[in-house]
Structure 1
Amino acid sequence: LCLLHLLSLPEPLRTQTSTPFQPHITMASYADMAAKGPKQTPEEAAAPQPPEISVESVESVASTSSLVDVDMPSVHTVPHDFNEQDVKTDTQADRIEREDEEQRARAEADLAKKKAAGKARKADSWLKRQFSSLSDGSASALAISNLVGVVGLSTFLGYKAWGLYERGRLSWQNIGLGLGILGVVGLGEGIFGSYLYKTKGKK
């Protein structure tokens, strides 16, 4: 900031201005320093020559600069019946192809769903036929044996869990395994009971 202030002063004041740390500072301008140095040759003092441009290169650039490069991918030509075409652009063709693929995938998924539903209906009717072919006495015996099996399995798992607990070896993994087994058995019991009720409960 002080240097800028000094440079803004007129020449006589600049040479006689002093700072508190230096009693007297003499400053010279760039022009003064350049005048004291060696003189430039006329070649060094001259401005650089502009590059030479031949007339032929100017004519070739001028003649081709207004032409459109048809080999560039951004330039497209269309046939004369373009407006009558169903598909007019690549984007439209891609969209139509994508929609066709999605429609085929939906049709395949619907077919697979129908096949799975058909198999489930066949299994359902087979189970109903099997349960309906049972006599009332055998159906009651089957229901009682099923109940005894579930109660027996639950008792066995409870006894094993109590033994592990007394030895201090009961872990969450054991509890989860036991509950998983009971869940699967309960699901099977529910399915079994519903089929037995559907076939024998209506009579």
Structure 2
Amino acid sequence: MAAKGPKQTPEEAAAPQPPQIEHEDDSTASLIDVDTQSVRTVPSDFMEQSVQTETQADRIAREEEARTRAREAKDKAAARARRADGWLTRQLAAMSDGAVSALAVANFAAVLGLGSFLGYKAWGLYERGRLGWRSVGLGVGILGAVGVVEGVFGSYINKSRSKKH
């Protein structure tokens, strides 16, 4: 089809030229001269310096500030924990010996009752053939959690008794 049409001149057949950017300011005054002495020269002890750049100094300052904030937060949390620990110990120490003994008996009864209840439920599941590792794991997890709580309160009871005597 193209061979049957009118003939084009080489200028018409050529692709249009891309637009050209005109450079009005050809001066190199604004360019950095890489041949100057100040760009290439560093102090002879540059590699032995602990901080070599401003960026590195800024990073070190930020890291130190973050460590300081973390240390302060940790100290505040420890102080709050000591206050709560002291409050609970004072409350238990303020109780009479009979009240502390009653609390210990109530804790023992609660653990014994919970253990009996879980054992009864496990026996029922076993008789129906539905006792599996998941049920056993759940029961052991509950007993473990109660044991940890009992251990924590037991330590506070012992602390309060040692403060009285």
Normalising by structure 1, what TM-score? 0.56
The separation in 1 between residues aligned to 2:33 and 2:111, in whole angstroms, is 75
Considering Cα pairs closer than 8 Å and 6+ residues apart, tell me whether 1 or 2 has the greater RCO: 2
Q: Does 1:71 align with 2:50?
A: no
* Letter aligned with residue 121 of structure 2: K
Q: Among residues 121, 130, 148, which one is paired with 2:82 in the alignment?
A: 121
Q: Which runs of 5+ in 2 are unaligned?
A: 1-27, 44-51
Q: Among residues 86, 98, 120, which one is paired with 1:137 in the alignment?
A: 98
1:77–1:195 Cα change, 3 Å = same
The separation in 2 between residues aligned to 1:123 and 1:171, in whole angstroms, is 41
The separation in 2 between residues aligned to 1:187 and 1:73, in whole angstroms, is 72
Post-superposition, which runs of at least 4 consecutive aligned residues in structure 1 deviate over 6 A? Answer: 73-77
The separation in 2 between residues aligned to 1:148 and 1:93, in whole angstroms, is 67
* C-alpha RMSD of the superposition: 3.0
The separation in 2 between residues aligned to 1:107 and 1:78, in whole angstroms, is 38
* Letter aligned with residue 146 of structure 1: N
| Structure 1 position 170, deviation (Å) | 1.6
* Letter aligned with residue 159 of structure 2: K
Q: Does 1:166 align with 2:127?
A: yes
Q: Among residues 57, 63, 69, which one is paired with 1:102 in the alignment?
A: 63
Q: Which runs of 5+ in 1 are unaligned?
A: 1-67, 84-90
| Structure 1 position 175, deviation (Å) | 1.6
| Structure 1 position 71, deviation (Å) | 2.6
Q: Show the counterpart of 1:10.
A: none
Normalising by structure 2, what TM-score? 0.68
Tell which structure's C-alpha radius of gyration is larger.
Answer: 1
Q: How many residues align?
A: 129
Q: Show the counterpart of 1:58.
A: none
The separation in 2 between residues aligned to 1:77 and 1:102, in whole angstroms, is 34
